[in-house]
Amino acid sequence: MGCSGGRVRFNFGKALSKASVFFTMVLIFTYFFYCLAGLCDSAPRTLYSQRGVDRDYDALDDHRRVLDDLRPARNRTDSAEAPRMDAPTGRLLPPRATDSANASARSGGIPVSNTFGTKRFPQAIIIGVKKGGTRALLEFLRIHPDVRAVGSEPHFFDRFYDKGLEWYRNLMPRTLDGQITMEKTPSYFVTKEAPGRVCTMNCQTKLIVVVRDPVTRAVSDYTQTLSKNPGLPSFQSLALKNSSTGLIDTTWSAVRIGLYAKHLENWLQHFPLSHFLFVSGERLVSDPAGEMGRVQDFLGLKRVVSDKHFYFNQTKGFPCLKKPEGSSRPRCLGKSKGRPHPQIPTEVLQRLRDFYRPFNHHFYQISGQDFGWD
């Protein structure tokens, strides 16, 4: 009887052990399939682990954004078109996921603001003129924290218009609310089709034209071309149709660009004068802070760029930006800026001045500014 009772207790204990193993296996397999279905991501995490994940992916996103800014614009990846990483799960979201979905995924379902910004059409464009000081103006403007600009000249409205507006928009840098997107392509000012095309994009676009004494500008234009093509004919042989008559050859682009009034009249068929700001290339050299104050006012920006940002470089003959914080040297424009001009016969320059005089006066009347070139 005692032996029989011991056997029953033994069998009961053995059965209980098997039942425990069975239920444990059921729980393991249930959890396994639950995770396969992707549902175990909803399991609670510790606050520390969640913050760690978010912080890692924030750092990754910041690193990717820096690299994105350093790449050429046409090679950048638009995050609106590319797959995105879901920070808590490690899974890729499908292409064209919305910013709100992406932000929600990264915050564990809690909506957060997207700090990546948006690619927008430029609200302001530096449309001219070549060799007037447009590169200096753009570099000075880029000091401002509320200005984001394309580094290279897009040439969309004169050369690549057939690529479409979406292609153009994708060249733009990302901007946050309150920031201005800009680009500069000086050849727009002298391109007949450019005003209508810009207006098709946005007739409210602000337009900046950097102008300079057309005679000095023509010589600078010639100097740049000569540096690339040392076999170029002399300035006077290109500027004059005939040396004996002294007639100016307006088919030569270096001369034609300086007919500012003619080009402006083309733009005024599509934009009111109030949409233009005419920047003096001479004052941009002699008083960069003062001229930049006008530009910032025109763009509706706080006056951040001031005297403290500039110093005059005697070697180059124009202002440079003082050493930025954390940099080992000041920022000056490249070697292609500030080249010495070749000697041009005085009588040739005087003929050009006489030629431009009525055009300059007409430009003063239209723009409402006397630039003092005569």
- Residue 131 appears among annotated catalytic residues: yes
| Token pair in block for residue 228 | 């690339």
241 marked among binding-site residues: no
145 marked among binding-site residues: no
372 marked among binding-site residues: no
9 marked among binding-site residues: no
* Token pair 């002699």 in the structure block, residue: 286
User: In sequence order, what DSSP letters do the residues of 45-88 get, joined into one string?
Assistant: --HHHHHHHHHHHHHHHHHHHHHHHHS-GGGPPPTTTS-EE-TT
Helix 260-267 and helix 346-367: axis angle, to 10°?
Answer: 30
C-alpha span between 128 and 166 (Å, rounded): 23
338 marked among binding-site residues: yes
- Catalytic residue (choose from 119, 130, 131, 184): 131
Angle among Cα 18, 22, 26 to the nearest 5 degrees reads 170
- Dihedral of alpha carbons 125, 128, 131, 136, sign: negative
> Are 41 and 90 in contact, with CB atoms under 8 Å apart?
no
164 marked among binding-site residues: no
133 marked among binding-site residues: yes
Q: Is 242 exposed, middle or buried (0-12, 13-18, 19+ CB in 10 A)?
A: exposed
SS3 category, 372: coil
64 marked among binding-site residues: no
290 marked among binding-site residues: no
**Is the preceding omega at residue 53 within 30 degrees of 0, hence cis?**
no
316 marked among binding-site residues: no
Instruction: Output phi, psi for 328, to 5 deg.
Output: -90, -15
C-alpha span between 220 and 317 (Å, rounded): 14
Give which of 129, 126, 87 is closest to 110, Cα–Cα.
87
84 marked among binding-site residues: no
User: Which amino acid is present at 263?
Assistant: H
109 marked among binding-site residues: no
User: In sequence order, what DSSP letters do the residues of 129-142 get, joined into one string?
Assistant: -TTTTHHHHHHHHT
In whole angstroms, how far apart are CA 184 and each of 173, 284, 341? 13, 16, 25
C-alpha span between 1 and 12 (Å, rounded): 17
Polymer length of the chain: 374
| Token pair in block for residue 51 | 């913050």
**Is the preceding omega at residue 279 within 30 degrees of 0, hence cis?**
no
Indicate the annotated binding residues. 131-135, 212, 220, 337-341
Catalytic residues: 131
Indicate the annotated binding residues for 3'-phosphoadenylyl sulfate. 131-135, 212, 220, 337-341
